[in-house]
């Protein structure tokens, strides 16, 4: 399978590297120091047993047009970037037309290249559908701890290694669905867990219900997960999750009635010292996904008339902290 990956950070680097190692044709679109490192040193992966692998069996380019030409076309594009302020999380792919088809631009055989979104955001899949067309978007959900250690260097921490996929129309007859099943099979061959979900929105909102409240409240309290689940903040954490649940239902996402209970139980199983990437980015004064995560659920809730006072407060307080810090 010919897989083009936007970004070689924590997710793109680890998933792309292991797919290449398993024999898939993989190419990365990268820039600046990451681009140079991929071209010279290669991609460094560290597994959960601290074993290091350096890979060079992939293509690399500055844009998808060049990458598609180098690879003789693409079957799927995985967008493994973060949605950060001032950066376009959904790049223009129209220049792929005439090479191998593109999202929104038909190839010679009339098929288009589906785009997988992996962002920690309940909003990004819908924005991607607006840009590329819903029939060309495969919303994806990653579960696992992957740490970006430097340019083209990624570590996987013990735990899950999951990438689940779905389509907007839930049809099993579409080109996008067929590509999703091919990518699922490739991921399984690379020793990941993967399923094509009938209703991927359930998986997207369920993950967001965990990662966003934990990351945002952790950033506000300057504390890891173990502190958040204790008595002093446990009810606030649950309240943030309940607002996610209410917003999801109002948006037509059929979450099970026990989703909040199960998410809180999942929090209780996590390492006490664990933190989210958004939390670490805010702590370190880096560009972060606060708006893409907390802002997204607030906007998705507002459009269906659901109030989110706790998420409003956390979002506002963190914005205040970030502004004050300059």
Question: Do the beta carbons of residue 75 and residue 3 sit within 8 Å?
Answer: yes
C-alpha 192/C-alpha 197 separation (Å) is: 16
Asked whether residue 132 falls in the same domain as residue 42, the answer is yes
> Is residue 99 over pLDDT 50?
no
Q: How confident is the model at residue 84 (pLDDT cuts 50, 70, 90)?
A: confident
CATH number at residue 17: 3.40.50.720
Same domain, 218 and 86: no
If asked whether residues 44 and 99 sit together in one domain, one would say yes
Q: Is 258 exposed, middle or buried (0-12, 13-18, 19+ CB in 10 A)?
A: exposed
Residues 119 and 216 placed together within one structural domain of the fold: no
Instruction: Tell me the per-residue pLDDT of 50-65, one tens digit each, with 9 for 90 and over.
Output: 999 999 999 999 999 8
Q: Are 78 and 104 part of one and the same domain?
A: yes
Report the pLDDT value the prediction gives residue 86, as an integer from 0 to 100: 79
* 240 touches 213 (CB < 8 A): yes
My answer on whether 14 and 52 are in the same domain is: yes
What does pTM read for this prediction?
0.92
Distance (Å, whole) CA 209 – CA 93:
31
- pLDDT for residue 294: 98
Which pLDDT tens digit goes with each residue over 247-289? 999 999 999 999 999 999 999 999 899 999 999 999 999 999 9
Give the model's pLDDT for residue 87.
Answer: 81
More confident residue, 29 or 101: 29
The C-alpha atoms of residue 167 and residue 172 are separated, in whole angstroms, by: 9
pLDDT of 136-171, one tens digit each?
999 999 999 899 999 999 999 988 999 999 999 888
User: pLDDT averaged over the chain?
Assistant: 93
Q: What total number of domains does the chain contain?
A: 2
How many residues does the structure list for the chain?
Answer: 326
pLDDT at 326: 76
Task: State mean pLDDT over 293-319.
Answer: 98
Range of the domain at 144: 2-198
Q: Which of 145, 164, 198 is the last residue of a domain?
A: 198
What was the pLDDT predicted at 182?
Answer: 97
Q: Is residue 107 over pLDDT 50?
A: no
Q: Which of 141, 165, 198 is the last residue of a domain?
A: 198
Domain-terminating residue out of 171, 198, 225: 198
Contact 180, 165 (CB under 8 A): yes
Strands laid side by side in the 115-117 sheet: 52-55, 43-46, 153-165, 137-150, 115-117, 76-79, 2-6, 25-29, 59-61
Residues 232 and 216 both lie in one domain: yes
Confidence of residue 96 (pLDDT cuts 50, 70, 90): low
The span from the CA of 217 to the CA of 219, in Å, is: 5
Q: What is the pLDDT of residue 112?
A: 85
- CA distance readout (Å), 268 to 225, 238, 274: 9, 12, 11
Same-domain check for residues 116 and 229: no
């Amino acid at each position: 399978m010919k897989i083009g990956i936007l970004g070689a950070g924590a997710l793109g680097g680890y998933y792309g590297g292991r797919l290449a190692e398993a024999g898939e044709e993989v190419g990365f679109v990268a820039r600046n120091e990451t681009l140079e490192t991929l071209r010279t040193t290669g991609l460094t992966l560290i597994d959960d047993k601290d074993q290091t692998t350096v890979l060079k069996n992939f293509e690399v380019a500055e844009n998808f047009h060049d990458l598609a030409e180098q690879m003789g076309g693409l079957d799927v594009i995985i967008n493994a970037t973060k949605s950060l302020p001032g950066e376009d999380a959904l790049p223009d792919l129209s220049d792929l037309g005439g090479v191998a088809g593109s999202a929104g631009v038909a190839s010679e055989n009339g098929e288009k290249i589906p785009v997988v979104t992996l962002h920690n955001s309940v909003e990004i899949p819908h924005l991607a559908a607006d840009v590329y067309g819903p029939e060309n978007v495969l919303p994806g959900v990653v579960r696992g701890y992957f740490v970006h250690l430097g340019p083209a260097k990624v570590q996987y921490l013990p735990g899950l290694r999951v990438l689940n996929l779905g389509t907007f129309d839930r049809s099993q007859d579409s080109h996008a669905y067929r590509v999703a099943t091919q990518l699922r099979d490739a991921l399984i061959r690379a020793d990941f867990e993967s399923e094509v979900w009938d209703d991927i929105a359930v998986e997207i909102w369920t993950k967001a219900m965990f990662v966003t409240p934990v990351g945002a409240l952790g950033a506000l309290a300057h504390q890891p997960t173990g502190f958040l689940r204790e008595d002093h903040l446990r009810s606030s954490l649950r309240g943030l999750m309940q607002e996610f649940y209410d917003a999801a239902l109002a948006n037509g996402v059929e979450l099970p009635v026990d989703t909040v209970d199960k998410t809180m139980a999942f929090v209780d199983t996590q390492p006490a010292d664990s933190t989210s990437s958004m939390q670490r980015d805010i702590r370190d004064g880096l560009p972060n996904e606060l708006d893409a995560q907390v802002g997204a659920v607030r906007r998705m809730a507002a459009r269906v008339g659901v109030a989110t006072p706790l998420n409003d407060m956390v979002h506002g307080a963190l914005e205040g902290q970030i502004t004050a810090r300059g």
